[in-house]
Structure 1
Amino acid sequence: MRRAGLLFGLCLAALFGQAQALSAEAPEPRHPLLSVVIDDLGQSLERDRQVFELPPGVAMAIMPDTPHAAELAREAHQRGRTLLLHLPMDPAGGPFAWSPELPAAELSRRLDAALAAVPYVQGVNNHEGSRMTADRAGMDLLMATLQERHLFFLDSRTSAATVAAAAAQQHGLASLSRDVFLDDQPDEASIARQLQTGIALARKQGSALLIGHPRPATLRVLARELPKLRAAGIELVEPTLLIAERGNRAMAAHGKNGVYR
């Protein structure tokens, strides 16, 4: 498993490096790109396995402190899904949660334990974390560690004060930032509108990354609408391909001239 992770890391680093080198002169993508990540997985196998019914480009973020984390991760890996560790961060609590008050050694121990609880991950994103992602020292530690482990980072952007993506960018870590939350309002009509917001943003800026949760309404909307994307001229892709496309540059809502605020 360690060798497979290293090979993935080298491939991802090559993709990222190539994207950085060419980002200034790369042509616009042929089709706008859309990525979707489903968070908060691991609590219910019956519920979470419904994600497998969605197109294979939909990525899965599994929480380490859930009863089915390892089993779901193994099954998702066997099915070829992109997997993320959904790492709890302050104000979230629990045995794996990162908090600014914790010493660096304890933060590293908690990350090691979380990665052991959710095998086969290719990246990490934050669960909650409005307080922790605003802590620059903690984010520098996280990004340096993920760089060593050849894992990418997705900033869920649960707070406008986040410095996570900026830290990742300065460390040269392959990373992304969330553009749209699908289901802050959990009814189907609102979720469908948020999906259309994401599609419109992808058309405007070339790509968009959407985060949702395994709520019944969210899964119904995605099952109905995602298969229609190709006919609408939108390409659904895994987050790693979005990293290569963006070349680690910030979108306009998150920074200026590609640099995160």
Structure 2
Amino acid sequence: MAVPLLAEENPASARQVPPTIAIIIDDMGHNLIEGERLIAMDQPLTLAFLPFRRHTTLLAEKAHLRQKEIMLHAPMANTRLLELGPGGLNPGMSQPEMATTLRRALRSIPHVQGVNNHMGSLLTQQLKAMDWVMAELTHYPVYFVDSRTIASSIAGHVAAGYRIPTLTRDVFLDNEQTEEYVDRQFELLIKRARQNGSAIGIGHPHTVTVDYLEKRLPELDEQGIAIATVSAVWAIRNGNRQMFAEGEKRQIRPALAKKQ
């Protein structure tokens, strides 16, 4: 089952919504071949694009045509001091610099609906930086997913404080790039969904991950597991209310797709 029935579509009861998973694929925009394979899948994956990468615009446009949900995968400073690339947010920035960088990154991603952090094990622990990030995100109709690249992240809490629709990653699928590891993590994701009603997993456009998802996702129906976009999972958890008013979407969403 690709998309679960929500309560407003199902008069019987919201209890009929099956255990539901959302899968975010991070680091989109680098790998054209694996990106196109993910877009071609029938299931409603959520694809998180790095800003200003070679294939970001092309793949995001194709993904939108295939009813995939699109996010900005915002690069944030990490404790290992790994290079962030274009659009990176780091502690040395002033508030205007951070706001401008984030704004440009958002506007570089066509059809963007949400944001999650790329790396960020350093920045997501810093209250001032997260305050500045969330203050900027309040200007747009986007949700925020805390990737939780470090257990002490406060990003989700700060986003919630700003009343930004917020979710948190439950499982990383492919920290090790073997089929055995991906399978073990995928089963953990399903277990969490059965326990809690829904769960969010994050993977990457590695060949082993894409191979696994191509094979495994069509089998979910037999297990009584639904797969949905991140925004659909948020709706399930929040009484099926809309994240944003339609007027907000019409007013701001087209501006995000502009190129600078």
User: Aligned to 2:173, which of 182, 202, 211?
Assistant: 182
Q: Find 1:205's aligned residue among 183, 187, 196.
A: 196
Amino acid at match of 1:189: E
* Deviations 1:17-36 (CA, angstroms, capped at 9, x unpaired): x9xxxxxxx96453111000
Task: Name the count of aligned residue pairs.
Answer: 225
* Structure 2 Cα separation of the partners of residues 114 and 87 of structure 1: 8
User: Which residue does the alignment assign to 1:128?
Assistant: 119
Runs of 4+ in 1 over 6 A off after TM superposition: none
Q: Assess if the C-alpha contact under 8 Å between 1:35 and 1:237 holds in 2.
A: yes
1:106-185 to 2 correspondences below 5 Å? 106-185=97-176
Query: Following TM superposition, by how much is the alpha carbon of 1:241 offset from its aligned partner in structure 2, in angstroms?
Result: 1.0
C-alpha distance in 2 between matches for 1:171 and 1:139: 11
How many angstroms does 1:144 deviate by? 2.5
Aligned-partner SS, 1:149: coil
- SS of 2:97 mapped into structure 1: helix
More off after superposition, 60-69 vs 195-204: 60-69
Distance 2:33 2:200 in 1: 26
Q: Tell me the distance in 2 between the aligned counterparts of 1:191 and 1:166.
A: 29
Structure 1 residue 46 corresponds to structure 2 residue 33: yes
Tell me what 1:35 maps to.
22
Deviation at 1:185, TM superposition (A): 1.0
Q: What per-residue deviation string (whole Å, max 9, x for no partner) do you get for residues 168-206 of structure 1?
A: 111111111000000011100110111000001100111
Specify every segment of 5 or more residues in structure 1 that has no aligned partner in the other structure, as ranges.
1-14, 19-25, 249-261
State the one-letter code of the partner of 1:105. Answer: P
Work out the percentage of aligned pairs sharing the same amino acid: 35
Could you tell me which residue of structure 1 aligns to residue 247 of structure 2? none
Q: How do 1:1-261 and structure 2 match up within 5 A? A: 28=15, 30-91=17-78, 92-247=83-238
Structure 2, unaligned runs of 5 or more: 1-5, 240-260
| Aligned-residue offset at 1:147 | 2.2
Larger deviation, residues 132-141 vs 176-185: 132-141
CA RMSD of aligned residues (A): 1.9
Matched letter for residue 104 of structure 1: Q
